[in-house]
């Protein structure tokens, strides 16, 4: 009976996906007819076949039993995460993720240093191969001779995928399948320059730890060594970041003593997948915080003692992720879940705490010392982007009620937006056109809520003060995120904190949901695998819909 039910679920989801694919095929045909790009229909049909194959394969992985046993979730995740990540990578092309162009150029600079080549020009601009400037100047409008400079130059040059529309797909198709030269390749040919000729980039780097861009930089460096063109360079850099995310999340699931389904669900959110297949340094943050939480839970609830290598791993994870966003420093509080006796005594516990905290502090001093000191010292804050008066840290410390009021107003008026951007309702550069339908956002939210409930026969590990402590750690992370955006992004004229995005809450979301399991609300049946399978199907439908939406956006 259970076997038939599994086949039935797979069949239903496959049929629904096939029907949805045929429905959106009409949109693709409409867009192709308007632009004359008939090849879009062929690409979409290929995507549709891959999506259907993925539905069937995922259903088999989640719902089938081999010799009476289901496959371990940690064994399933690498295949699922990689397939979905690759599909997101190609449907949402390079530079379409939030702030991706800045992350890309930062990774490019690091790739030059890894290759032992000049990374910057004398004026401080980042050097890229002339052909690679196509990614940040699709139509060749940027003039590096001084006529266009600074922000004006960045506005006048069109970044590939910054506003994702049909022309983005066409530009990639023309450069790869059609074999047409990009403006930069035409320039190189006209001037007799080699394909390794360097040029200035109009973009600015992100001031953070180079460790956040190591996977992407390795991909770019490999592409440059193989003399691949700009499109393949971008995809290879993104692919390396995806592989890093999938590997780290897989290691986190293997290390978790419980709650694997919760971490799996968070990793399946459209926003998580979109970020994982981009150049974003959020991948480093998510991966490190997932593994950090898993190690803390493993040491607290499963291991008999703490090893030196465990402490070294926790320190390395905090040193790598800490400088990217300081707001996740409270996550170190999860270490306090580990009993002191497992360290072998109070002095060893203190030494371990000093190593983890010291690694984070050292990384912060090396990378963010100037930023922290400027925030602490400034009396009258001025926002660098708009030039408006902002909130300084000293002002907020002297007026705590004002800070509390801003926090309250933000939750009152923007909680829905925070929720939507956490799940991934707005993809691309938070583009309202590239949206996930609201009913699917509700489904993913409900899926996470059910995954966070106790199933029959499951033992509740996180109880008492430990549960309260995890809630406290997560609440402090939320407060730190709000405070950072209040200082860095919000003008004094605003009544709410601006710039707060739900993706900032993803790194601690698994720990928060695991702490929600309790004895008061218990499911009558374990349907976690069915939920995870349907969350995969949601993503596969979203990919079909997104492709059709982009095709219509002419």
Give pLDDT tens digits along the chain (554 positions).
555 666 788 999 999 999 999 999 999 999 999 999 999 999 999 999 999 999 999 999 999 887 778 899 999 999 999 999 999 999 999 999 999 999 999 999 999 999 999 999 988 899 999 999 999 999 888 776 544 333 334 446 789 998 899 999 999 999 998 888 899 989 888 889 888 899 999 888 998 899 999 999 999 999 999 999 999 999 999 999 999 999 999 999 999 999 999 999 999 999 999 999 999 999 999 999 999 999 999 999 999 999 999 999 999 999 999 888 899 999 999 999 999 999 999 999 999 999 999 999 999 988 877 766 666 666 566 776 667 888 888 888 889 999 999 999 999 999 999 999 999 999 998 899 999 999 999 999 999 999 999 999 899 999 999 999 999 999 999 999 999 999 988 999 999 999 999 999 999 999 999 999 999 999 989 999 999 999 999 999 999 999 999 999 98
Closest CA to 255 of 450, 470, 476, 510: 510
Closest CA to 546 of 172, 87, 100, 158: 87
Q: How confident is the model at residue 5, as a pLDDT?
A: 61
Query: Measured between alpha carbons, how far is 111 from 114 in angstroms, rounded to an integer?
Result: 5
Cβ proximity of 300 and 338 under 8 Å = yes
Residue 435: CA count within 13 A, CB half-sphere: 9
| Residue 390, strand partner residues | 491
Q: How confident is the model at residue 386, as a pLDDT?
A: 66
Stated pTM of the model: 0.94
Q: How confident is the model at residue 144, as a pLDDT?
A: 66
Closest CA to 313 of 337, 328, 291, 329: 291
Q: How confident is the model at residue 377, as a pLDDT?
A: 60
Q: How confident is the model at residue 60, as a pLDDT?
A: 94
Q: How confident is the model at residue 154, as a pLDDT?
A: 44
Cβ proximity of 241 and 276 under 8 Å = yes
Cβ proximity of 288 and 211 under 8 Å = no
Q: What is residue 150's three-state secondary structure?
A: helix
Q: Which residues contact 344 (CB under 8 A, 6 or more apart)?
A: 305, 306
Q: How confident is the model at residue 152, as a pLDDT?
A: 38
Count each helix (H run) and each strand (E run) in the chain, helices first.
20, 4
Query: Measured between alpha carbons, how far is 331 from 166 in angstroms, rounded to an integer?
Result: 42
SS (H, E, C) 108-133: HHHHHHHCCCCCECCCCCEEEEHHHH
Query: Measured between alpha carbons, how far is 416 from 432 in angstroms, rounded to an integer?
Result: 14
Q: How confident is the model at residue 554, as a pLDDT?
A: 84
């Amino acid at each position: 009976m259970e076997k038939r039910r599994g086949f039935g679920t797979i069949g239903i989801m496959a049929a629904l996906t096939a029907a949805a694919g045929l429905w959106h095929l009409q949109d693709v045909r409409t867009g192709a007819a308007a632009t004359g790009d008939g090849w879009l229909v062929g690409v979409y049909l290929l995507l549709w076949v891959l999506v259907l194959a993925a539905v069937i394969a995922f259903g088999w992985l989640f719902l089938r039993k081999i010799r009476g046993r289901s496959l371990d979730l940690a064994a399933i995740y690498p295949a699922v995460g990689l397939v979905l990540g690759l599909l997101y990578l190609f449907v949402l092309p390079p530079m379409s993720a939030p702030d991706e162009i800045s992350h890309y150029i930062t990774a490019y600079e690091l790739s030059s240093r890894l290759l032992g080549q000049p990374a910057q020009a004398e004026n401080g601009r980042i050097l890229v191969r002339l052909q690679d400037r196509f990614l940040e100047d699709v139509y060749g409008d940027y003039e590096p001779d001084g006529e266009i400079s600074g922000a004006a130059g960045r506005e006048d040059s069109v970044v590939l995928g910054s506003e994702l529309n049909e022309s983005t797909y066409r530009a990639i198709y023309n450069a790869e399948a059609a074999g047409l030269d990009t403006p930069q390749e035409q320039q190189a040919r006209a001037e007799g320059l080699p394909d390794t000729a360097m040029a200035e980039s109009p973009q600015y780097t992100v001031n953070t730890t180079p460790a956040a861009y190591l996977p992407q930089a390795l991909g770019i460096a490999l592409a440059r060594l193989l003399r691949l063109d700009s499109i393949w360079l971008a995809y290879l850099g993104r692919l390396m970041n995806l592989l890093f995310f999938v590997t780290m999340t897989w290691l986190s699931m293997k290390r978790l003593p419980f709650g694997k389904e919760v971490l799996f669900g968070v990793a399946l959110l459209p926003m998580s997948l979109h970020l994982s297949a981009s150049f974003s340094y959020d991948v480093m943050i998510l991966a490190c915080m997932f593994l950090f939480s898993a190690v803390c839970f493993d040491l607290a609830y499963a291991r008999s003692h703490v090893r030196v290598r465990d402490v070294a791993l926790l320190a390395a994870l905090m040193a790598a992720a800490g400088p990217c966003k300081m707001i996740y420093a409270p996550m170190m509080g999860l270490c306090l879940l580990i009993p002191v006796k497992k360290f072998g005594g109070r002095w060893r516990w203190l030494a371990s705490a000093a190593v983890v905290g010291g690694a984070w502090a050292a990384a912060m001093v090396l990378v963010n010392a100037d930023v922290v000191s400027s925030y602490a010292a400034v009396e009258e804050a001025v926002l660098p982007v708009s030039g408006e008066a902002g909130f300084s840290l000293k002002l907020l410390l002297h007026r705590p009620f004002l800070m509390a009021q801003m926090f309250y107003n933000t939750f009152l008026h923007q909680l829905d937006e925070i929720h939507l951007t956490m799940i991934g309702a707005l993809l691309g550069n938070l583009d309202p056109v590239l949206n996930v339908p609201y009913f699917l956002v509700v489904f993913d939210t409900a899926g996470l809520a059910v995954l966070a409930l106790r199933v029959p026969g499951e033992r509740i590990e996180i109880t008492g003060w430990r549960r309260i402590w995890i809630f406290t750690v997560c609440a402090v992370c939320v407060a730190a995120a709000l405070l950072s955006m209040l200082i860095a992004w919000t003008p004094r004229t605003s009544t709410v904190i601006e710039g707060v995005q739900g993706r900032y809450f993803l790194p601690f979301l698994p720990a928060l949901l695991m702490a929600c399991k309790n004895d008061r609300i218990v499911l009558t049946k374990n349907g976690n695998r069915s939920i995870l399978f349907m969350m995969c199907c949601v993503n596969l439908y979203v990919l079909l819909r997104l492709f059709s939406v982009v095709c219509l956006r002419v």
